[in-house]
Structure 1
Amino acid sequence: MSLPSSAEEALDAFAQCPGWEQRARLLMQWGERLTPLRPEERDEANRVHGCESQVWLVGEVQEGHWHFRAASDARLLRGLLAVLLARVDGLSCSQLGEVDLTDWFNRLGLSRQLSPSRSNGLNAVLQRMRQLAAEN
């Protein structure tokens, strides 16, 4: 399965980073690129459960392709969400089901920095994406 162009961009950007410090800085920058959610979208219905930090996720399907927006109060998590959204942007429902989160963060060189709780939280976000896709 080919990657969305935003995912290719993420892989290229993170491949340029020689170490964790540079990756962490880049992650923060990616987090700032997230499209902000409107205040009314930061509600309980859009909250992702299973994350230690607060995370909200909004998804919409256009012509069979999913586009998500997400927000978090935690800076590092916003960056992780941004690279996750880059990976899933424009995928179909069935393609969302094929996304391997561990492989994606390995390819970005970020998996070693993912604590078990962050990893669980990101898995909860991906599960919520799949749930939204299944409901439509």
Structure 2
Amino acid sequence: MSLPSAAQQALDAFAACPGWEQRARLLMHWGERLELLAERREADRVHGCESQVWLSGERQDDRWHFRASSDARLIRGLLAVLLARVNGLHASELAALDIADWFAQLGLSRQLSPSRASGMNAVVQQMRRLSEAA
């Protein structure tokens, strides 16, 4: 399965970072580019995240496009690189995605606390539920 162009950009950018401090700065920068949700509805809230996270998704031409938001800067960055990886996928590709592997490829998995990793998994599970319900 080939990577979406935004995911390849993320991989290239994070691969160029020699250490965690640079990756953390880059993550914050990616979070600033996150497209904001028009509104934060309780129905879009992701449960299972320590930080507050909202997620909405829509299918366009049989491919999924998500938007997400959080008040936490680091979480916004993680959401941005997650969306770079999943936006444009078919539901079957989304179901097969190994999110831990994606964060490992970016060099972020060792710095993901168990609660953040659990939160990102909750976001992916909600993406899968949305895609299966459609």
Q: Any idea what the Cα deviations from partners look like across 1:53-93, whole Å, max 9, x if unmatched?
A: 00000101001000000000000000000000000010000
- In the superposition, the TM-score normalised over structure 1's length comes to 0.97
One-letter amino acid of the structure 1 residue matched with residue 8 of structure 2: E
Distance 1:46 1:2 in 2: 29
- Give the secondary structure class of the aligned counterpart of 1:67: strand
- Give the secondary structure class of the aligned counterpart of 1:53: coil
- Give the secondary structure class of the aligned counterpart of 1:87: helix
One-letter amino acid of the structure 2 residue matched with residue 106 of structure 1: A
Structure 2: runs of 5 or more not aligned = none
Distance 1:93 1:15 in 2: 28
Q: Give the structure 2 partner of residue 92 of structure 1.
A: 90
Q: Give the structure 2 partner of residue 133 of structure 1.
A: 131
Distance 2:60 2:87 in 1: 11
Distance 2:57 2:72 in 1: 20
- Give the secondary structure class of the aligned counterpart of 1:68: strand
Structure 1: runs of 5 or more not aligned = none
Aligned length: 134
Q: Any idea what the Cα deviations from partners look like across 1:73-128, whole Å, max 9, x if unmatched?
A: 00000000000000001000000011101100000000000000000000000000
Q: Give the structure 1 partner of residue 64 of structure 2.
A: 66
Q: Give the structure 1 partner of residue 15 of structure 2.
A: 15
Distance 2:35 2:100 in 1: 24
Matched ranges for 1:9-88 at <5 A:
9-38=9-38, 41-88=39-86
CA positional deviation for 1:4: 0.6
Distance 2:28 2:44 in 1: 23
CA RMSD of aligned residues (A): 0.5
Percent identical: 72
